[in-house]
Chains A and B, each alone.
Chain A
Amino acid sequence: MFPHSPRLKTVGSDDAPLILVRDLSFHRDDRMIFNNLNLDIRRGQVTAIMGPSGTGKTTLLRLIGGQIRPTTGRIEVDGQCVHELSRQDLYRLRQRMGVLFQSGALFTDLNVFENVAFPLREHTRLSERLIRTLALMKLEAVGLRGARDLMPAQLSGGMARRVALARAIALDPMMILYDEPFAGQDPISMGVLVKLIRTLNDALGLTSVIISHDVKETAAIADDLYLISEGRVVEHGTPEALHHSSSPWVDQFMHARPDGPMSFHYAARPYVDDLLSRDSG
């Protein structure tokens, strides 16, 4: 199904992390999302950032992409401080970033082929013939060359994400950010996506960042794993190391235990007080 591809060393790789987050704090209204968060994303690797729902994983991805600015701290991508870049430089940097949104975010008025050709048409002056060839190559890589004439509404959730992946790699980026790529997928689509992410990372020499809370699938392909909760990194290491971590929190998350340091109940006043209260709400 997938072409065999040996793992390649990233082109232009060096020891410096591709993404560097230092002392990152971010507040939304009065709520603290991140508090002195630090992490490094190494080149050529698949790095997963995991944590319970509502911990700000997608916010972190938006911060890395420069869509929002941190309250304090620093985010560098390939040596450039994202939130200090001019709009023009930020857009230039984004041409080297691919992002796979949770919904796929395909343009609903364009068919599959036009969606994949979109970044090529916007950012290159290639001939129509070459654009066609490149778009078909990207679609072939995700196994959907035959679906080129379909409209996004005609695609299943898994297919839509694969088309979005083909679009994300259209400009041969240096990195791809995946926002919950496995959410809501059936087992087959999930398996296809898991394999595609790893294969494309290795075959194209990319750096991949996966934001997810699907432990099994993500741990299967990640080289490096960050667990975040309450605005900071709780644990960091290889999936293997985290599976055997002695931390009760990591143990609860990695083995999907319903109760543990992270309580089943949302913070509330005592149960009996609440039941006996005369409040209407």
Chain B
Amino acid sequence: MIAALKGLGGFLLNKLARLGRANLFLFSVLGALTFLFKRPGLLIRQLYTVGVLSLPIILVSGLFVGMVLGLQGYANLVDFGATSSLGTVVALSLIRELGPVLTALLYAGRAGSALTAEIGLMKATEQLASMQMMAVDPFPRVLAPRFLAGCLAAPLLTGIFTAVGILGGYFVAVVQLGVDGGAFWAQMQAKVLFFEDIVNGVIIKSFVFGWLANWIALFEGYEASPTSEGVSLATTRTVVVTSLAVLSWDFLLTALMFGAW
């Protein structure tokens, strides 16, 4: 009994210590962001790596998700003769929930895991240590540009995912299933609100998810054991922890933004 309690206590203390280190890490990254005013080239390069290189998976996924929404929405609305609302259903689903959440999950799988592996390998191959020994702080030089680039890329990718998804839904609903195109766009225009839906969903939610995904990815890489097994474990942990964090924070944000609480 005592041994079990001791084990549980030790486990919780370890988790708390790790959370503390993660927060200290975040403060160090945030404190280093001002350096990017002096070296904007570092940020632009990372925006390309985490943003532009994520475009193919975002475009393809967005298109298929929109098409599926169009199909499912039509199958349900047609019984009530409400297919003219399909544009609203597709747009609101994507803008409020699926766009930010799925983009964040895809981002964690593609860019987040890559960030963890990159930082973990830089640690394992002593690149971070050599940088420190050359009197160059890796926080402003390596970590801050990646963090900010990810936070900026997430809303942009979410916007693209959502736009492509709506086009996919339009293609299925209007071109394939014969829903009236004017009604599709007009209903969407009437029901989707800029501040309540787009700012909350596409901008705020996705920024929070981008923040979480990059914080977790960089911290896991920075804390990874400097071995191939350590980097592999850290990469897996990044995807798992980010997915859980995004889904739980999505519930919290949805309750705050759109819920009745």
Contact = CB atoms under 8 A, between A and B. Distances in A.
Do the two chains belong together in a single complex? Answer: yes
Query: Is the contact region of chain B dominated by helix, strand, or loop, or is it mixed?
Result: helix
A92 B137 CA distance: 12
B129 A105 contact: yes
Contacts, number: 46
Interface stretch (A1-9, A42-50, A115-123, A187-195): A115-123
A167 B131 CA distance: 11
Interface in B205-258: none
Contacts of B127: 105-108
Contact of A118 (B125, B132, B134, B137): B134
B4 interface: no
A236 interface: no
A111 interface: no
A167 B136 CA distance: 13
B190 interface: no
A101 B136 contact: no
A92 B135 CA distance: 7
B204 to A, nearest CB: 33
B3 interface: no
Contacts of B196: none
Interface residues of B, number: 14
A198 interface: no
Contact of B135 (A67, A94, A107, A167): A94
Interface in B169-194: none
A154 B50 CA distance: 25
A67 B129 CA distance: 8
Interface string A107-131: 1100000000011001100000000
Given A99-B133, A105-B125, A107-B131, 18 more contacts: A65-B133, A67-B132, A67-B133, A92-B135, A94-B134, A94-B135, A101-B126, A101-B129, A105-B126, A105-B129, A108-B125, A118-B136, A119-B134, A119-B136, A122-B135, A122-B136, A123-B135, A167-B134
Interface of B: 121, 125-127, 129-137, 141
9 contacts: A67-B129, A91-B137, A92-B135, A99-B133, A101-B129, A119-B136, A122-B134, A122-B136, A123-B135
Give me the 4 closest cross-chain CB pairs, A-B, nearest first. Answer: A105-B130, A105-B126, A91-B135, A94-B135
